[in-house]
């Protein structure tokens, strides 16, 4: 099993005294104005925790968009500040955008064009030239900020996710000595889907400026290669998988992301084990069987399909009335985008319909909590749940499934997991389901709730071992190794 220390040793060895620069859309710390002055807040995200640990060991630089209302007041003339707040051992370089540019880049092209284009869930992407221009402009801002740090020197640059698809090519054109690794966390669709994008060629060219591109799933690698082959004059090698375009060689591989097993286990050990009284205290209901879902409100997560599954489950197996409760913890997300507003309304209406249909006395089958919780609270709820439901329609990975596996007691937990998640490739002892197949999923739900303790423990322990072994450090180590080979 790879540890944090293993990863740090590899990173230092791989850099050979060169600089490490990370380009990521969201900053790890933001400065906000309060009545007591300026305070610093840590933003959420597993990637930030990992990158924070690496960068502070090698005095690296993270380039990210400013998000706090006091961010500009604490940086130097180049937008830089030393972080983390107490240790101050690496640099955060902030990019400040106008509201128009940010909206076009983030709420427009990134999340109304690329997101629905790459997640095949039958939501139509919006193609706007204004949004595309904002996306190009912001990618150029990231490129300029990275070059401002690197200059003409050699460096290792880690580009994170779909927000920055054009940066690799922009960087290579200005400084060919930079070694670039890009990780694309969301799915990559088939060419039949991707070809509808008016800027498909520019996006592929942008990514092919990378020396290595990582995806979570093998067929996303194959889809990207096929799109490259159909759009550009490329040479494709099969072993190892690579694409050569304009004499530049880009390696590709699927590296499924993990989570920080030991960090979560340490949190659990520092918490008092929860009892069923916690659910009663926090949400006001009793239960015999508790199912939990923890999601952002997003059309890729199959939330309406999950509600239809619960509806059919109670209809088909009425003996679970007054016993089974589904707790939906759904964080608000991208609420300025019409498709997300509409989804929130559909969810609330569907829950109201199901609860009206089945409620008896003080019992109702679904409790919907539309807010963000601290991770410690979520981990406590995981420990109490008999079942976690992950019904994504298309998902690069899904780390909720892996967090639940760590937290749930082996003799109590069970995981109902969509086949359309990257996590399904790792967690083969879950109940793997097709969320479009309502009756098939209902039968799997019944089996998950009623299986013998021995089978429950066997399945959970097998998944726990996989999550422990294939952790976040293993993922990052493989990514860095692939990026820096021959560097």
Residue pLDDT, tens place only, 214-261: 999 999 999 999 999 999 999 999 988 999 999 999 999 999 999 999
Cis bond before residue 84 (omega within 30° of 0)? yes
Q: At what angle do helices 167-174 and 129-150 cross, to 10 degrees?
A: 40
Q: Which of 52, 211, 394, 395 is catalytic?
A: 395
Token digits of residue 465? 């071992």
Separation CA 83–CA 74 (nearest Å)? 11
**Mean pLDDT across 268-277:** 93
**Which comes out higher in pLDDT, residue 52 or 302?**
302
Cis bond before residue 374 (omega within 30° of 0)? no
395 belongs to the catalytic site: yes
pLDDT value of residue 86:
87
Token digits of residue 55? 């960068």
Separation CA 132–CA 128 (nearest Å)? 6
Name the average pLDDT for the chain: 96
Strand partners, 237: 242
In 3D space, the residue among 255, 247, 154 whose CA is nearest the CA of residue 209 turns out to be: 247
286 belongs to the catalytic site: no
Look at 11-15, 21-25, 33-37, 188-192 and tell me which has the smallest mean pLDDT: 11-15
Largest CA distance in the chain: 72
pLDDT value of residue 356:
98
pLDDT value of residue 487:
63
pLDDT value of residue 57:
86
The dihedral of CA 441, 445, 450, 452: what is its sign? positive
CB atoms near residue 29 (< 10 Å): 20
Architecture of domain 4-258+473-484: 3-Layer(aba) Sandwich (3.40)
**Mean pLDDT across 62-70:** 97
Looking at residue 110, the DSSP 8-state letter turns out to be: I
C-alpha of 367 from chain center: 25
Work out the pLDDT band at 391, boundaries 50, 70, 90: very high
Separation CA 89–CA 85 (nearest Å)? 9
Separation CA 396–CA 398 (nearest Å)? 7
Domain definitions of the chain by residue range? 4-258+473-484, 261-469
Separation CA 181–CA 486 (nearest Å)? 13
Asked whether the predicted pLDDT for residue 64 surpasses 70, the reply is yes
4-258+473-484 and 261-469 have identical folds: yes
| pLDDT tens readout for residues 42-55 | 887 667 777 888 89
| pLDDT tens readout for residues 434-485 | 999 999 999 999 999 999 999 999 999 999 999 999 999 999 999 999 999 8
Separation CA 414–CA 223 (nearest Å)? 32
Exposure string (b/e) for 428-461, b if CB count within 10 Å is 16 or more?
ebbbbbebeebeebbebbeebbeeeeeebbebbe
pLDDT value of residue 30:
96
The domain 261-469 is classified under which CATH number: 3.40.50.300, 3.20.20.60, 3.40.50.1820, 3.40.50.2000?
A: 3.40.50.2000
Q: Which of 148, 185, 248, 249 is catalytic?
A: 185
C-alpha of 86 from chain center: 28
Token digits of residue 178? 């930079």
Using a 10 angstrom Cβ sphere, with 0-12 exposed, 13-18 middle and 19 or more buried, the burial of residue 346 is middle
Separation CA 464–CA 276 (nearest Å)? 23
pLDDT value of residue 239:
86
* pLDDT > 90 fraction of the chain, expressed in percent and rounded: 91
**Mean pLDDT across 155-179:** 98
pLDDT value of residue 207:
99
**Mean pLDDT across 409-413:** 95
H or E, element range at 92: strand 90-95
pTM: 0.96
Asked whether the predicted pLDDT for residue 266 surpasses 80, the reply is yes
Using a 10 angstrom Cβ sphere, with 0-12 exposed, 13-18 middle and 19 or more buried, the burial of residue 136 is middle
Work out the pLDDT band at 63, boundaries 50, 70, 90: very high
């Amino acid at each position: 099993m790879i540890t944090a220390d293993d990863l740090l040793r590899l990173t230092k060895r791989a850099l050979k005294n060169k600089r490490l620069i990370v380009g990521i859309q969201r900053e790890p710390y933001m400065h906000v104005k309060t009545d007591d002055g300026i305070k610093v807040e840590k933003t959420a995200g597993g990637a930030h925790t990992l990158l924070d640990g690496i960068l502070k060991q090698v005095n690296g630089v993270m380039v990210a968009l400013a998000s706090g209302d006091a961010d500009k007041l604490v940086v130097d003339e180049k937008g830089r500040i030393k972080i983390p707040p107490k240790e101050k051992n690496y640099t955060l370089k902030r990019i400040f955008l106008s509201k128009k540019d940010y909206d076009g880049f983030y709420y427009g092209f990134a999340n109304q064009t690329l997101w629905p284009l790459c997640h095949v869930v039958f939501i139509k992407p919006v193609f706007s030239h204004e949004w595309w221009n904002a996306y190009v402009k912001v990618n150029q801002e990231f490129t300029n900020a990275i070059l401002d740090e690197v200059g003409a020197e050699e460096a290792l640059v880690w580009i994170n996710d779909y927000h920055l698809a054009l940066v690799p090519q922009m960087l290579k054109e200005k400084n060919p000595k930079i070694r670039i690794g890009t990780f694309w966390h969301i799915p990559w669709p088939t060419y039949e889907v991707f070809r509808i994008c008016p800027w498909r060629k520019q996006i592929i060219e942008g990514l092919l400026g990378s020396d290595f591109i990582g995806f979570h799933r093998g067929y996303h690698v194959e889809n990207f290669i096929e799109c490259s082959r159909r759009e550009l004059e490329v040479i494709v090698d099969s072993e190892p998988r690579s694409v050569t375009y304009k004499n530049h060689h880009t390696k590709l591989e699927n590296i499924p992301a993990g989570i920080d097993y030991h960090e979560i286990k340490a949190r659990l050990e520092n918490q008092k084990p929860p009892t069923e009284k916690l659910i009663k205290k926090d949400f006001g209901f009793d239960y015999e069987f508790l199912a939990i879902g923890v999601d952002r409100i997003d059309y890729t997560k199959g939330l309406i399909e999950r509600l239809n599954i619960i509806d059919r489950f109670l209809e088909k197996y009425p003996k679970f009335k007054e016993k089974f409760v589904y707790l939906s913890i759904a964080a608000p997300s991208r609420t300025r985008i019409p498709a997300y507003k509409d989804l929130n309304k559909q969810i609330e209406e569907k829950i109201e319909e199901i609860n009206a249909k089945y409620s008896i006395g003080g019992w109702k089958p679904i409790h919907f909590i539309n807010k963000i919780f601290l991770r410690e609270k979520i981990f406590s709820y995981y420990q109490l749940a008999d079942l976690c439901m992950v019904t994504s329609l298309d998902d690069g990975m899904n780390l909720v499934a892996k967090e639940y596996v760590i937290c749930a007691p082996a003799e109590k937990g069970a995981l109902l997991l969509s086949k359309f998640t990257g996590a399904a490739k790792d967690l083969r002892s879950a109940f793997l389901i097709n969320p479009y197949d309502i009756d098939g999923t209902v039968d799997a739900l019944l089996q998950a709730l009623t299986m013998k303790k021995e089978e429950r423990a066997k399945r959970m322990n097998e998944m726990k071992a996989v999550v422990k072994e294939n952790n976040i450090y293993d993922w990052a180590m493989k990514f860095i190794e692939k990026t820096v080979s021959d560097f």
